[in-house]
Amino acid sequence: PHQLLFGNVTNGQCVLGDTYADYDRAYTAAESVDGVADTWDTGALRGSFNQLRKLKKLYPNIKVLFSFGGWTWSGGFGQAAANPAAFAESCYKLVEDPRWADVFDGIDIDWEYPNACGLSCDTSGPDAYVRLMSALRSRFGANYLVTAAVPAGAGPINAANYGAAAQYVNWYNVMTYDFFGAFAAQGPTAPHSALYSWPGMPTSNGQDKFYTDAAIQLFKSKGVPANKLLIGVGFYGRGWSGVPNTNGGLNQPATRCRYGHV
């Protein structure tokens, strides 16, 4: 099992996203992993980092990765890629900060998306991702895990050189979820983490094939070894209202729910 945390990327560096939650919030005994409350002793670690430390003590085989970026915090990766060695150095210093150096077993990069658009757009070129991952592997070395969350749509997969970067990672976490969802205000209704296609499957354009097998096969065609491809599946549902009672509700127009996750 692996536990992912999110950090931000600003000014070309890895930074903490929420210092209070990360290492300062005092957990009560009832909230704590081991039933022991955090202390305010000088130098004591608190917050989520201390709970992860306790969890690792209870389950020594757990590997904990510090993930940077995500949908909201990927805007800084372009600047980071302009000086990948400096970025990697900042990440190493943060992950291996003496206050919590025993907690993390590596780093996970969730850049959404290199040389493509997510919440914001990046134009750093297809090989910027390769240079970034190479620098991280060089700085962290062979004894740390270096992983990455990568897209599942053909457009962003084709935009960056994931094949060349694969040599530097232990594995890719392919984000094969949210192919369809209530973020589309009028539907269509469809599974958000489908493994294969089905008759009448909706598509948004001619390039994207919104199912998991298509993403995995595309990565393999680009030279990513199969043993470095992990499938990410969302452990949640997507909901709509006003769905016609046709075809079991699949491939139908709908009205978006107030809340997308159900």
Radius of gyration of the chain (CA): 20
Distance CA 103, CA 94 (A): 12
The two structure tokens encoding residue 261: 């996750």
Q: Is 112 a catalytic residue?
A: yes
d(CA 50, CA 99): 10
H helix or E strand, kind and range, residue 213 = helix 212-221
Q: Are 219 and 162 in contact (CB under 8 A)?
A: yes
Beta bridge partners of 150: 174
Spatial CA neighbour of 215 closest among 166, 174, 181 = 174
Q: What distance lies between CA 171 and its chain's CA centroid? A: 12
213: its two tokens: 């097998």
Catalytic residue list: 112
